Amino acid sequence: MLRWQVIIAELLLIAGCALSTEGSAQQTIRENAPLVIDSLYGPDVFRFYCAPCHGRDGKGGGPVAVALKRRPPDLTGIATRNGGIFPKARVEAFVTNGGVSLSPAHGTAEMPAWGPNFGSLDPSDTRVKVRIANLVEYVESIQN
């Protein structure tokens, strides 16, 4: 570290100590981000769980995509790739069970199996099913 960086770090440390009150009962605790969201609304579920890989627009360019072996597919073209028909049951099965043995067009098994993941985070099987159904309906709504 350069000398000026050390000096700045020391000044920031001193300033931080001066601003804190001695004997204060309040303490700031940083909580971890939630693993499950309360919302069952399809767009919310997509943004929270899918957008990191598939992007907010569903086209496969999420911030995590660069770390994957294969780029996540463009979810807005599912119907186009299936002759203009959105294969709702197949997409729901894929989301529920993950990409283990389904279409190689998705790439590897890096796709999480959201059925078991949601089930481990939410004790209500009904909520898990509704969450997945709403997510699939949202993906259907963003088709080209």
pTM (2 decimals)? Answer: 0.71
Q: What is the 3-state secondary structure (H, E, C) of 56-113?
A: CCCCCCCCCHHHCCCCCCCHHHHHHHCCCCCCHHHHHHHHHHCCCCCCHHHCCCCCCC
With residue 18 as reference, give the H or E element that holds it: helix 3-19
- pLDDT tens profile 61-80: 999 999 998 999 999 999 99
Q: Which residue has the tokens 């997945």?
A: 132
- pLDDT tens profile 14-48: 444 444 444 445 667 777 767 789 899 999 999 99
Listed by start position, the domains of the chain span: 35-141
Cβ neighbors of 121 (< 8 A, separation 6 or more) are: 35, 36
Domain 35-141 is found in CATH 1.10.760: yes
- Residue 109 has a pLDDT of 62
Q: What is the DSSP letter of 110?
A: T
